[in-house]
């Protein structure tokens, strides 16, 4: 596939499972948002409504909520996507069954994924001038493991085997994959601008009340994270199929030998 096709094709995969993805995504987002608001309300009550404590609890609770939301949608989206490209049409129940079967290796992958990201950003952010190079380095690290999650679901591999398999499939194309990873994030930033305007628009009706603003801002962040993760997870599946077709001829069909006699 061309670079443009790798950007466009994931949306076709999303469209094929749009009902299940929308339903599960919305339900998960609402549940996470309720937990975030509950945590913020609890901290606010314990600190007598301290603005600083409430603000920090909102930031940290939202960050944790984003991680959980992305984890769930990553597993569910890849489960549906790998089934779709294999010619299977599964619903949300079967999607969660397959997600549950790969829960532990996916959890290990996601934890290490987050730790590496935080470490690289923390080191590169020490100097503003090094931050762009740090993001480029992070993109390169992400590229080597970009198709590890589809390997987990499609090949039933463990975490270590999936990462090794991903590096093998991506080998030689790390920089194009890095470019794809960076481009997706730049496009997400462009989409974020109008989405962040939604809370301001709704605030005209709800007013500038403290809890209304917290609810609107946290829900907007979760919505952006959910959309970005579904697109990225679908891109992982598309890239996995593309890499296997290029390196292993997955799309080549050998006709059965005819018996003559």
Give the tens place of pLDDT for each residue, 34-70: 999 999 999 988 888 788 888 899 999 999 999 999 9
Q: Is the pTM of this model over 0.75?
A: yes
Q: Is residue 27 part of a domain?
A: yes
Q: Is residue 65 part of a domain?
A: yes
Q: Is residue 78 part of a domain?
A: yes
| pLDDT at position 207 | 56
| pLDDT at position 259 | 44
Task: Work out the average pLDDT over 186-190.
Answer: 87
Structure-model confidence comparison of residues 163 and 192, the more confident one: 163
Q: Is residue 15 part of a domain?
A: yes
Model confidence band, residue 115 (pLDDT cutoffs 50, 70, 90): very high
> Would the pLDDT of 238 be above 50?
yes
| pLDDT at position 261 | 44
Q: Give me the number of domains the chain comprises.
A: 1
Model confidence band, residue 247 (pLDDT cutoffs 50, 70, 90): confident
Q: Is residue 72 part of a domain?
A: yes
> Would the pLDDT of 205 be above 70?
no
Task: Work out the average pLDDT over 23-40.
Answer: 95
Domain with 97, as residue range(s), is 3-101+169-246
Q: Is residue 48 part of a domain?
A: yes
> Would the pLDDT of 260 be above 80?
no
Q: Is residue 148 part of a domain?
A: no
Q: Is residue 44 part of a domain?
A: yes
| pLDDT at position 206 | 56
For CA atoms 222, 225, 231, 235, the dihedral sign is: negative
Model confidence band, residue 245 (pLDDT cutoffs 50, 70, 90): confident
Tell me the average pLDDT of the chain: 88
């Amino acid at each position: 596939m061309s670079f443009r096709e790798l950007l466009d094709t994931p949306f076709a995969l999303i469209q094929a499972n749009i009902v299940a993805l929308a339903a599960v995504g919305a339900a998960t987002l609402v549940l996470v948002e309720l937990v975030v608001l509950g945590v913020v309300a609890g901290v606010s009550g314990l600190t007598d409504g301290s603005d600083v404590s409430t603000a920090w609890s909102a930031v940290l609770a939202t960050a944790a909520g984003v991680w959980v939301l992305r984890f769930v949608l990553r597993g569910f989206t890849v489960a549906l996507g790998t089934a779709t490209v294999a010619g299977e049409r599964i619903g949300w129940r079967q999607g969660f069954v397959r997600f549950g079967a790969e829960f532990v290796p996916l959890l290990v992958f996601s934890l290490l994924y987050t730790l590496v990201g935080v470490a690289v950003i923390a080191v590169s952010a020490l100097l503003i001038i090094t931050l762009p190079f740090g993001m480029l380095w992070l993109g390169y690290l992400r590229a080597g493991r970009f198709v590890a999650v589809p390997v987990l679901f499609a090949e039933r591999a463990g975490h270590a085997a999936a990462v090794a398999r991903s590096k093998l499939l991506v080998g030689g194309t790390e920089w194009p994959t890095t470019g794809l990873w960076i481009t997706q994030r730049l496009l997400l930033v462009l989409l974020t601008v109008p989405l962040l305007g939604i809370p301001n628009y709704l605030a005209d009706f709800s007013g500038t009340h403290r809890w209304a603003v917290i609810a609107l801002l946290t829900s907007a962040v979760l919505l952006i994270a959910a959309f970005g993760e579904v697109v990225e997870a679908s891109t992982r599946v598309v890239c996995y199929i593309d890499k296997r077709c290029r390196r292993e001829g997955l799309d080549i069909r050998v006709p059965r030998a005819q018996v003559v006699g």
